[in-house]
């Protein structure tokens, strides 16, 4: 599958899933109080700190490996199962500690449900790796949508029946079971692969550093929720979690959708000895050009949209979204740093950066909390700047990218962002009276901004105009139209894959 096609399929899955979760979140916000949602927020934050260790570190090695054989996959499968069992036991025990620490029984019960859900991805690990290696993102699209639908249905039904935070935990569990079952159904031969720990030394050498990296990275991500919940209450933790999740839709939907196919593609390039600096610059431009305008639009409309959709009880979430959006936008200046360092097998450098960012984030947030939750949230953009500086310095030494190329990428993306700002700002200033006006203003300004953005990409010859050209040409061929402006940039190595 061509890289652009794989990216498109992956992005469709991510965005469709996130739209479903967004709709679910709106319904849940009217069924649960911030205090009830806060119990689940702390539970999922605690689980998320270590949950990715069960297969992500091993998965990165397997997906990016130049050659995959059954012995490697069996060893990775065995390690994945072992880690999953240990995590389940650990999270089960942690649930009682957190119940006492936060004084909330619902939190502990939710975490125990989440603990057992960690076993499902490990069981489906071989099938998942084979689908990823084959870049079968169409199958992954279907699996993700069905699992997300089940999670939404279970969560909403149980929340309506009065199950509180447990409703969200059981929805998570249902999604994990469905995902594992459908993944195995796509690759049933994976069931015949025996798990083993023999030959796992090379995986441990790689996975040890990568797992440590994921641990500190998850701690930096989950730490703010845990600290806010302890310092200013579970309700504030839920408000922050909602803000973080809404802003993360941009990264998880647009950026993660693009970068999921990148790791196997970069692994193949590295095995051929291809210089990764050019594609790195192209992806930085693509990621920032796509995400920065959306972050800007989100920051402008955050407060009225949250108030309109979720209700007055969640109003503070909209205010929190502004600094969080700025922080996320700043971190994207470093582009696909993780994939580059994994392919280059520079796990120790990756760990050092993540550890430094984690410590810096926690220290800054702790200092901010002494001044109040507003000051604490505004420390996140500062942490984002530190994050970008660390990874840009490291990647310069690893792949030797051209700083001039990177500044050009940022300048083009910034231009594409600034040119769309007047429209949402004008609508935001005029249409703020009632829910209907606010929703109309958001939708109308978004549609106009997209049109302006597409035209701007062409005139500034942004990297994204190549992908826009490809999509329009595909559409043109499907309706029998071949003419398209020839002055657009021609497909590059990034597009061809």
Which DSSP string corresponds to 272-284? TT--SHHHHHHHH
Total Cβ atoms within 10 A of residue 425: 15
The DSSP string of 58-86 is HHHHHHH-SS--HHHHHHHHHHHHHHHHH
Terminal C-alpha separation, the chain? 9
Asked whether residue 233 is assigned to any structural domain, the reply reads: no
Q: What is the pLDDT of residue 472?
A: 61
Q: What is the pLDDT of residue 261?
A: 62
Asked whether residue 235 is assigned to any structural domain, the reply reads: no
Residues 162 and 303 in one domain: no
Report the b/e string of 33-43 with b at 16+ CB within 10 A. Answer: ebbbbbbbbbb
Q: Which helix (H) or strand (E) holds 474?
A: helix 464-478
What is the chain's length? 497
Residue 287 to residues 207, 290, 413, 418: CA-CA distances in angstroms?
27, 5, 9, 16
Query: Cβ distance 151 to 174 under 8 Å?
Result: yes
Q: What is the pLDDT of residue 271?
A: 74
Residues 183 and 287 in one domain: no
Q: What is the pLDDT of residue 490?
A: 47
Residues 198 and 315 in one domain: no
Residue 57 to residues 62, 195, 203, 208, 212: CA-CA distances in angstroms?
9, 17, 9, 8, 9
Total Cβ atoms within 10 A of residue 452: 17
Residues 335 and 441 in one domain: yes
Phi and psi at residue 39, in whole multiples of 5°? -60, -45
Q: What is the pLDDT of residue 272?
A: 79
Residues 315 and 454 in one domain: yes
> In terms of C-beta density within 10 A (0-12 exposed, 13-18 middle, 19 or more buried), how is residue 268 classed?
middle
Asked whether residue 213 is assigned to any structural domain, the reply reads: no
Q: What is the pLDDT of residue 485?
A: 46
Q: Which residues of the chain have pLDDT under 70?
A: 1-18, 49-69, 135, 137, 199-211, 253-264, 467-497
Q: Is 431 helix (H, G, I), strand (E, B) or coil?
A: coil
Those residues whose C-beta lies under 8 Å from the C-beta of residue 139, and which sit 6 or more positions away, are 131, 186
Considering the entire predicted model, what is its pTM? 0.71
Which domain, by its residues, includes 197? 1-204
Asked whether residue 219 is assigned to any structural domain, the reply reads: no
Phi and psi at residue 68, in whole multiples of 5°? -115, 125
Q: Is 435 helix (H, G, I), strand (E, B) or coil?
A: helix
Residues 190 and 52 in one domain: yes
Residues 63 and 151 in one domain: yes
Radius of gyration of the chain (CA): 22
Residues 286 and 417 in one domain: yes
Q: What is the pLDDT of residue 418?
A: 95
Closest CA relative to residue 383, chosen from 353, 348, 345: 353
> In terms of C-beta density within 10 A (0-12 exposed, 13-18 middle, 19 or more buried), how is residue 475 classed?
exposed
pLDDT, one tens digit per residue, over 117-142 is: 988 888 888 888 888 777 676 777 78
Q: Is 55 helix (H, G, I), strand (E, B) or coil?
A: coil
Residues 383 and 287 in one domain: yes
Q: How far apart are CA 15 and CA 165, in angstroms?
A: 25
Asked whether residue 243 is assigned to any structural domain, the reply reads: no
Domain C-terminal end among 189, 204, 219:
204
Count of structural domains, the chain: 2
Give the chain's count of helices (H) and strands (E): 24, 0
Residues 350 and 481 in one domain: yes
Report the b/e string of 320-342 with b at 16+ CB within 10 A. Answer: bbbbbbbbbbbbbbbbbbbbbbb
Q: What is the pLDDT of residue 375?
A: 92
Query: Cβ distance 58 to 207 under 8 Å?
Result: yes
Residues 141 and 45 in one domain: yes
Closest CA relative to residue 285, chosen from 414, 419, 470: 414
Asked whether residue 132 is assigned to any structural domain, the reply reads: yes
Residues 282 and 197 in one domain: no
Backbone φ/ψ region at 324: left (φ over 0), alpha (ψ -120 to 50), beta = alpha
Q: What is the pLDDT of residue 122?
A: 85
> In terms of C-beta density within 10 A (0-12 exposed, 13-18 middle, 19 or more buried), how is residue 248 classed?
middle
Asked whether residue 87 is assigned to any structural domain, the reply reads: yes
Domain C-terminal end among 151, 178, 204:
204
Domain C-terminal end among 204, 235, 260:
204
Q: How far apart are CA 79 and CA 56, in angstroms?
A: 12
Q: How far apart are CA 241 and CA 375, in angstroms?
A: 16
Query: Cβ distance 413 to 426 under 8 Å?
Result: no
E strand map for 240-396: none
Asked whether residue 94 is assigned to any structural domain, the reply reads: yes
């Amino acid at each position: 599958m061509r890289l652009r096609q794989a990216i498109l399929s992956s992005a469709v899955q991510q965005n469709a899933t996130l739209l479903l979760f967004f709709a679910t979140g709106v319904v849940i916000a009217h069924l649960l109080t911030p205090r009830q949602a806060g119990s689940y927020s702390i539970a999922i934050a605690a689980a998320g700190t270590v949950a990715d260790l069960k297969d992500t570190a091993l998965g990165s090695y397997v997906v990016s490996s130049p050659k995959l054989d059954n012995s490697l996959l069996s060893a990775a499968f065995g390690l994945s199962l072992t880690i999953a069992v240990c995590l389940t036991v650990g999270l089960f025990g942690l649930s009682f500690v957190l119940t006492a620490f936060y004084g909330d029984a619902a939190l502990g019960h939710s975490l125990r449900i989440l603990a057992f859900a960690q076993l499902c991805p490990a069981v489906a690990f071989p099938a998942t790796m084979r689908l990823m290696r084959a870049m079968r993102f169409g199958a992954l699209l279907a699996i993700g949508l069905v699992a997300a639908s089940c999670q939404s249905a279970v969560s909403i039904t149980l929340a309506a029946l009065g199950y509180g935070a447990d409703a969200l935990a059981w929805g998570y569990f249902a999604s994990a079971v469905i995902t594992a079952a459908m993944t195995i159904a796509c690759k049933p031969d994976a069931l015949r692969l025996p798990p083993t720990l023999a030959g796992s030394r090379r995986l441990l050498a790689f996975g040890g550093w990568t797992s440590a990296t994921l641990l500190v990275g998850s701690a930096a991500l989950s730490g703010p929720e845990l600290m806010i919940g302890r310092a200013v209450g579970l309700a504030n933790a839920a408000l922050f979690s909602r803000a973080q999740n809404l802003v993360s839709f941009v990264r998880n939907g647009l950026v993660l959708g693009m970068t999921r196919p990148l790791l196997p593609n970069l692994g193949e390039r590295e095995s051929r000895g291809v210089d990764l600096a050019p594609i790195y610059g192209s992806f930085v431009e693509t990621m920032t050009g796509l995400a920065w305008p959306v972050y800007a639009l989100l920051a402008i409309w955050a407060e009225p949209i949250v108030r309109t959709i979720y209700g007055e009880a969640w109003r503070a979430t909209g205010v929190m979204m502004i600094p969080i959006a700025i922080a996320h936008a700043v971190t994207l200046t470093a582009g696909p740093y993780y994939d580059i360092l994994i392919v280059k097998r520079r796990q120790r450098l990756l760990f050092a950066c993540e550890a430094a960012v984690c410590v810096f984030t926690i220290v800054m947030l702790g200092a901010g909390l002494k001044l109040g939750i507003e000051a604490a949230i505004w420390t996140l953009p500062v942490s984002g700047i530190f994050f970008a500086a660390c990874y840009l310095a490291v990647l310069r030494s690893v792949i030797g990218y051209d700083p001039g190329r990177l500044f050009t990428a940022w300048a083009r993306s910034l231009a594409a962002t600034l040119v769309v700002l007047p429209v949402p700002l004008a609508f935001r200033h005029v249409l703020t009276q009632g829910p209907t006006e606010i929703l109309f203003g958001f939708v109308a300004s978004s549609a106009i901004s997209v049109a302006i953005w597409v035209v701007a990409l062409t005139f500034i010859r942004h990297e994204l105009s190549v992908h826009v050209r490809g999509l329009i040409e595909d559409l043109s061929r499907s309706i029998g139209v071949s003419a398209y402006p020839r002055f657009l940039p021609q497909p590059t190595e990034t597009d061809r894959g």
